[in-house]
Structure 1
Amino acid sequence: MLFLLEEVELKPTEMAIYNYINANLDKVIYMRIRELADATYVSTTTILRFCKKFGCQGYADFKSQLYHYAKSIKENNTLIQSLDQTIFTEFLQRTTQPDFQRKLGQAIDFILQSELLFFVGIGTSGIMATYGANLFSSLYKFSLAVTDPQNSPVYYVSEQFDEHICLIVFSVSGQNEDVVDYINRFRLHHIKVISMTNSANSTIARISDLNIPYYINVETYQETNITSQLPVVYLLEYLAREVYYQKHKDM
C-alpha cells in the first residue's frame, strides 16, 4: 500500500484518507498536515495516527516517503521510445558475420542430430518457445514448448533418449532462476542446450553448449520487460528453414 510492500489494516476513516492520498498524490506531497486533515475531514491527530501505521515517525517523515514513492511512479510511467529500426538492421548485419554464421551452423547441426526438441521460456520468452515448437513441428520434427519449467519434471527421461534431445532456451536477461535450474537438471543427462539471450555473459549463456546472443537495447515499462523479440523470431525462422532445407536437399 503506497510505499509499503505489505498491506496495512485501516479503519473506515483511515481508508478514506488513504483513498484521497492515492487519488491526489501530486497534491498531497506538498500539503501541510492541517491542509490534508481539512481535505479529508479529520483531525491532525488522526493524520498522525495514519502516518504511524505506515511506519513513519511523523507527518514530515510520511511526506518524504510519499514524495519518493510518487517520483518512482513517474519514472516507471515514462513514455516508451518509438521503434528504432536501426537496431534491427544492425542485428541483421551481425548475423552475416563469420562468427555468427558459425554459431548458426553449429545450432543447425545440434538440431539435425536430435529427434525431439524442447523449447523453453517464461513470460514473453515463453511465447517465443511456443512459436518455436509450432514452427519446428511443422517444418522438422515433433517439438514441445516448456513455459512452466517448475512444473515440467525431467527426472524420468530415459537414458536411451539423452543423445536425441535438444533444449532450445529463450531468455532476455539470461538469469531466470527457474530456467537455470531446469537446464542444470537436463545437463545431468548430457543433453545438448542451445540458448538465445541478449548477452553472452549471462548464467544461461555460460551453462549452454551453444549460446546465440543478439545484443539489442533492453526496454522496460512499469517493471515489465518489453524488449523486442524480433531478433528471436528471425533466428527461429532462419534455423527452421535451414534445418528443413538440410533435411530435404538429398531427397
Structure 2
Amino acid sequence: MRPRNIIRAIESARDGLRRSERLVADYILANRREVIHMRIVDLAQEAHVSEPTVVRFCRAVGCDGFQNFKLTLAQHIAHSPEYAAFSFTDDDSARQYTFTVFDATMEALKKVRDSIEVDAVEKAVDLLANARRVELYGFGASAAVASDAQHNFFRLQISASVYSDPHMQAMSAMSLHSDDVVVAISQSGRTRSLLDAIKLAQKSGATVIALAPSGSPVADASDLPIYIDVDLDEGNYTPLPSRLAHMTVLDILAVGIANTKKGLREHLATIEAGLQALRLDTRS
C-alpha cells in the first residue's frame, strides 16, 4: 500500500491554517528532504515559530505529532522519486534528451497519480457508463487526446464523438440533452472557445466533465472537474508529458467503465477474436 501523500495534505490544508502554521507549511514544502532530519526545535527556529505551533501544524495535517509527521514525510519521499523538469538545449545529445523526456513524463504521471481525486473518477465513470451520448471537446494536442479516448470508448460500446472545431462544438452542444455527457479536455484550462461550448452544453442540460488544471476557468465552469496539474513552460515540446497525463486519466475512466458495464468482457473478447483475422500469423 502506497504511503499517504503528506505533501498533498499540506497543500490542501494550507489555506485553512493559522498564519504561524502556514509558515511551517511553507518551510516544509520548500525543504521537505531536510525536514526529515530535523528536531522539532530546529524546524521551529527555521520557520520562525514556536514548538507548540509545529505540533499544532502536524495535527492539522492528520499526524499525531512531530515524530509521526516526520515518519509519514520520509515514507512519502522514499516512494516518490523526483525527476528533473522537462528542459533541454540545442547541445543535448540523443541520450540526454531521451532520458529527459522519459523522466519528465514519469514525473508528470506520478504527480497526477498522487493528486487525483478518486471520488471524481468514480462519479465520472458512472456518468459516462450511463450516458446516451458522449461528446469529447478539445483543441490542438487535446484533440489528439480526445480521439484516443473515442477509440477506447467505442470498444466499450459507448457512442462517442470528437469535435475540435469551435463551430462543430457549438452545434454539438446545442443538440445535447440531460442524459448526455461532454468531456472537455484542456491542458491550459483557459481556451475561450471551449468555455463557450461548455456553457452551451450546460444550457442544453448536458453534464460537463472537465480534464483541466485546478483553479482554471475550464475546471471551474464544468459540473465535474478532474484536476490534472502538470507544470508547463514555454518550450516547444512541453505538451508531451501533459498530453500523456490526460490520456492516462482517460484510460482510467475506460477501465472503470469496463468494470461497471455488464457483458463488456465478452464483447471485448469477441472483438479481439475478430481482429486476429487481420493480423499476420507468426506461428509458422
Match of 1:169 among 179, 184, 189: 184
Per-residue Cα deviation, 1:25-50 (whole angstroms, up to 9, x for no partner): xxxxxxxxxxxxxxxxxxxxxxxxxx
Aligned length: 168
Matches within 5 A, 1:152-191: 152-154=169-171, 157=174, 162-191=177-206
Q: After the TM superposition, which residues 12-51 of structure 1 pair with which residues of structure 2 at under 5 Å, given as runs?
A: none
2:162 to 140, 145, 151: 145
Q: Which residue of 2 aligns with 1:90?
A: 111
TM normalised by structure 2 equals 0.53
For 1:170 and 1:152, the matched residues in 2 are separated by 13
Give 2:247's aligned amino acid: V
Q: CA deviation at 1:88?
A: 2.2
Which amino acid in the other structure matches residue 177 of structure 1? R
Query: Counterparts of 1:92 and 1:116 in 2: how far apart (Å)?
Result: 28
Find the structure with the greater CA-based Rg: 1
**1:213-242 residue CA offsets vs partner (Å, 9 max, x unmatched):** 1211113324x7525212211111111111
Select the structure that is richer in helix. Answer: 2
**Is the CA contact 1:154–1:186 (under 8 Å) kept in the aligned structure 2?**
no
Q: Give the letter for the 1:188 counterpart.
A: K
Identify if the C-alpha distance between structure 1 residues 156 and 225 changes in structure 2 by more than 3 Å, giving closer, same or farther: closer
- On the 8 A contact 2:170/2:200 being kept in 1, the answer is no
In structure 1, C-alpha distance between the alignment counterparts of 2:110 and 2:192, rounded to whole Å: 32
User: Which residue type is aligned with residue 194 of structure 1?
Assistant: I
- Identify if the C-alpha distance between structure 1 residues 225 and 183 changes in structure 2 by more than 3 Å, giving closer, same or farther: farther
- Structure 1 unmatched runs, 5+: 1-76
Q: Identical aligned pairs, as a percentage?
A: 19
Which letter does structure 1 place at the counterpart of 2:110?
T
1:226 to 233, 239, 260: 239
What is the CA–CA distance in structure 2 between the aligned matches of 1:213 and 1:155, rounded to whole Å?
24
- Alignment TM-score, normalising by the size of structure 1: 0.60
Q: Distance in 1 between matches of 2:185 and 2:174?
A: 22
Q: Structure 1: which 4+ aligned runs deviate by more than 3 Å? A: 77-81, 155-158
Please list the CA deviations of residues 88-119 of structure 1 after superposition, one character each: whole Å capped at 9, or x if unmatched.
22332334xxxx11010111121123111001
The two structures, once aligned, show a CA RMSD in angstroms of 2.7
